[in-house]
Structure 1
């Protein structure tokens, strides 16, 4: 039988973690009882620098049940790095790994169906939400815009899929070969090329606590996804530069013809507008190019993705 490890990134999740662990342990126990997975199957919770009682709850859970293990970061390194840390530890012994957020808005009852697809020969099973009823209008609209934008830029994402997924050992080992620091996991996994399927589920509201992804973080996450997986923004800047240059040539020809025909008109408005527009294009261009240079700087330094303060279990 195959060993299953469930990886949970957690940041200030003291309000939901006890019920989350109870529910996930029950799901694993049911699979063990049905002789679907190995009795050594476990859960790894990665404490991403929490400031509340998250780590003490993980410690207490491990004392009650050895199937719960924990990794504690020295500070907050981010959700994606927490996932990588959990998978790096899990892949040492597990045959199949499921990642799911601590708030359980993604339905954990879909895990048995994911496991059965894995046993049938599928390496990656995506958990895909079949509705966005719990989202605000803004979040629903911005999410759809995000997926459409990335598709236009050539990045193939699984729409309405976040980080709830099952991966086989070899799929995780291949993912961990991607060493970039600016990691966008949900964009890289479809690039791995292994056999994949989808499981649809209904997303539910948080049981307690508040979202760890406010608007500012969501926008930063989306921008990181675009710049990590596509150079299309830089090419767009190039096209805008070419277009602006062509307009400049046309304006130059127009001014010569106007002067030759004696139709020159003195106007400061058009001059100032053109200066501000071109100046804006230049600032935007420098900003986008600077973003890529900054990412290159981060990658060449090869700093560690995270620092582990302690482990348990």
Structure 2
């Protein structure tokens, strides 16, 4: 079995994290390879990871040339996983490693994907909970892929990992891509634990950008909304035009500066919003056609085959 763990600035507790992970996996009685991906950390995460790799068999450390983001770090690990099953979990222990035994049991029973689903979001504040629900509701409605409570904590059969490898887009959203694959799935609920140390590095702006990238990567519905709004304004304009002509011919026409100004503001705002949506999709196309790699590896703890 392969275990992929993305890391960013986790030197302070990496030894504790790995010890707990290793203890949980040891009980499973499986031959395990560890793929720990340092996503351009600015602390001593890489040095600690190298020390772990020296003394712990089966550990492969990968250091990316800079911070490419968690999605790219996951891709780097998955592309190097050779196990019959591949587990993915965070390095901050908010994904309880003790749950791996349950995931493996379902996999052995025939499930091709075993995904841990958040039953409780832990220490998240009310605003972050609300925005998460809003995003997942919008994603489900626009794409048809339910992601409520989804997390990156998953175990997948090698067939699923090979299928994921065929997805070549550069704008990555692991949860959505994984849901799109299908296969026989089992969900296991879990409560998000408190972080071992530190605080999340995800800012509100970064989460907003991830949400926009996810929605535009998996659905063209926002583009279709522009046509719907345009049709609505056309119907409204026809109605207003007929009313104006009727008032003109009946001799009751009045100056309507307020109406004109409001219409200009509404139409102008709608046009700008529409151009913004189109621009977002063009930016996604621009990123894809450049064909830049998803990430760059600076060094590893062992030679890659």
Give the TM-score range, shorter chain.
over 0.9
Q: Which residue of 1 aligns with 2:101?
A: 112
CA contact (8 A) 1:155 1:229 kept: no
Aligned partner of 1:88 among 79, 82, 98: 79
CA contact (8 A) 1:47 1:55 kept: yes
Aligned partner of 1:57 among 27, 48, 51: 48
Q: Assess, with a 3 A threshold, how the Cα gap between structure 1 residues 298 and 133 changes in structure 2: closer, same or farther.
A: closer
- What are the superposed Cα offsets for residues 145-183 of structure 1, whole Å, 9 maximum, x if unpaired? 111111211331332111000011110010010000112
Q: Which residue of 2 aligns with 1:171?
A: 160
Normalised to the residue count of structure 1, the TM-score between the two structures is: 0.93
Q: Measure how far apart 1:120 and its partner are.
A: 1.3
Q: Which residue of 2 aligns with 1:297?
A: 286
SS at match of 1:306: coil
In 2, the alpha carbon distance for the partners of 1:271 and 1:248 equals 11
Work out the number of aligned pairs and report it. 302
Aligned partner of 1:12 among 5, 9, 13: 9
In 1, the alpha carbon distance for the partners of 2:275 and 2:248 equals 35
- The yes-or-no answer on 1:270 pairing with 2:259 is yes
In 1, the alpha carbon distance for the partners of 2:96 and 2:122 equals 15
Normalised to the residue count of structure 2, the TM-score between the two structures is: 0.96
- The yes-or-no answer on 1:68 pairing with 2:65 is no
Which region of structure 1 is more displaced relative to structure 2, 175-184 or 267-276? 267-276
Q: Measure how far apart 1:132 and its partner are.
A: 2.6
Q: Measure how far apart 1:297 and its partner are.
A: 1.6
Which region of structure 1 is more displaced relative to structure 2, 263-272 or 197-206? 263-272
In 2, the alpha carbon distance for the partners of 1:155 and 1:50 equals 36
Q: Measure how far apart 1:137 and its partner are.
A: 0.8
Aligned partner of 2:34 among 31, 36, 43: 43
CA contact (8 A) 2:140 2:147 kept: no
Query: Can you give the 5+ residue segments of structure 1 that lack an aligned partner in the other structure?
Result: none
Q: Which residue of 2 aligns with 1:136?
A: 125
Aligned partner of 1:184 among 167, 173, 180: 173
CA contact (8 A) 1:58 1:68 kept: no
- The yes-or-no answer on 1:239 pairing with 2:236 is no
Aligned partner of 2:20 among 18, 23, 33: 23
Q: Which residue of 1 aligns with 2:202?
A: 213
Q: Which residue of 2 aligns with 1:78?
A: 69
Q: Measure how far apart 1:287 and its partner are.
A: 0.5
Aligned partner of 1:151 among 140, 150, 173: 140
